[in-house]
Amino acid sequence: MNNNYLTGQEHKLIGSSEYDVENKNGVNYIPIAVSKKYLTVEECNEERFDVGNLNDLMGHYWGKKYARCLMTLEPLDIDRDSVNYGKTLRDPVLIKMEKYIERLKDNSEQFPFKRDGPIVRLEDDLS
């Protein structure tokens, strides 16, 4: 399985420069598979749900070369009448990055294409 179910925002967090594009009309909140019409919004949402959380090396984005952490894959807006149809409902959240959590909180302005809401939570805080 490839990672086309990720959004541009999520790709940027794991260090993929291929999707480093301007966030015109919220395009970085739409999974690549949806924008390229590989999957429908509903299919992609289901795939993201099946994956759950992404475990990847993403600490280098925050200045730590080999730091692994979990990142939530947030659900997509599946309301066809919504102006946000196909976009993630909220930003991904980094989970359990242990010793790097304070660094992330202090550098939250670096979070790519940031919307409202937390960027870091401990696993116990997920609901």
CB 51 within 8 A of CB 44: no
Per the prediction, the chain carries an average pLDDT of: 76
Q: Is 1 part of any domain?
A: no
Q: Is 27 part of any domain?
A: yes
pTM (2 d.p.): 0.73
Beta-sheet strand order (sheet of 68-72): 53-57, 68-72, 94-95, 120-121
Residue-wise pLDDT for 101-119, tens only, equals 555 656 666 666 666 765 5
Residue-wise pLDDT for 32-46, tens only, equals 899 989 999 999 999
Query: What does the alpha-carbon distance between residue 31 and residue 52 come to, in Å, rounded to a whole number?
Result: 15
Q: Is 3 part of any domain?
A: no
Say how many domains are in the chain.
1
CB 52 within 8 A of CB 74: no
Average pLDDT over residues 52-75: 72
Q: Is 116 part of any domain?
A: yes
Provide the token pair at 125: 């805080």
Give the pLDDT of residue 18.
Answer: 58
Strand segments (E) across the chain: 53-57, 68-72, 94-95, 120-121
CB 70 within 8 A of CB 94: yes
The whole domain housing 96 covers: 8-125
Q: Is 104 part of any domain?
A: yes
Give the pLDDT of residue 92.
Answer: 84
**What spatial distance separates the first Cα and last Cα of the chain, rounded to whole Å?**
27
Give the pLDDT of residue 126.
Answer: 47
- In this predicted structure, the answer to whether residue 90 has a pLDDT above a threshold of 70 is yes
